[in-house]
Every structure is written in structure tokens, then in C-alpha cells.
Amino acid sequence: MLPIRSPLGDRSLKKINNGFILCARSMNWDIALVKTDSNGQVTAVNDEIIPLHNNTLYNYPNPFNPLTTIKFSISNSTKVLLQIFNVKGQLVKTLLNDEIQSGEHSVIWDADNQASGIYFVKLSDDVDVSRNHKIILIK
């Protein structure tokens, strides 16, 4: 069992009806209601009242040569910008700049014309703070 931790201290943990505790994560504002027993074991999770926000951004394989699949999810239909940057912060490629539906999505990046090294995937949308992920191209 993982302990319930709050990055905001006591301000983000609040006991509410029926012994549920409101938990929040400050960076991505994930919210859930959890109930624990006297030993701190989670006995119930209520994600229907306040849905959990899904913040995935990853790629596979990683390291890759020269193709990688970048997977991400968004919780609301919104305009999404998915970009690749090199270690100097220079834009290498815009993979997606479009309105998309909520859910899980994937985009394939063909880096055949790029040098080996570390790159960063940046996902931005109109709802969330942008997310970043490090990927490694090995030729």
C-alpha cells in the first residue's frame, strides 16, 4: 500500500463526508476522494464525484532508432500542440497542432534525418499546463 502524501501539506488534505479524504496533487491538479481504515489502508476510492485527471505522456521504444510512438491522453476535447525539441531548446518538429477529442492518442515520429541524442517532447493544450518527456535517439 502506498501512503497518501500531499505536496501542499495539510492544506490539500481535508476530511469530508463519510470519512473520505480529499487528496490533490499540485503539479497537475489530480483530485480524488479516498477512504482509509485506522491503519491507513485505502478501503475505497470515489472518482465519480471528482474525476481523476489522466496525465500520460510517454514513448516507446525509448531509446529508439529511428521510429518511436508517442502516446498521450487528454481529459477534455481541446486544441493540442505536440512538439519535439533538441537539447538546445530548438524546435525540431511539430507532430500535431489540431483540435482532438478526449482520450488516449498516439503519434509516430520518424527521426531518420536527426542526429543521435536527447530530445524533448512537449505536449500543450488549452486546459492543462504543458507536459514534457525526455526521449533518446540512438543510431
pLDDT digits (tens, 9 = 90+) for 56-84: 789 999 999 999 999 998 877 889 999 99
- What fold is seen in the domain 57-137? Immunoglobulin-like (2.60.40)
Sequence ranges of the chain with CATH classification 2.60.40.1930: 57-137
Q: Does the reported pTM lie above 0.75?
A: no
Q: Which residues of 45-69 are buried (b: 16+ CB within 10 A; e: fewer)?
A: eeeeeeeebebebebeeeebeeebe
Q: Which of 125, 128, 114, 55 is nearest to 85 (CA)?
A: 114
Question: For 26-51, what is each residue's pLDDT tens digit?
Answer: 344 455 566 666 666 666 665 544 44
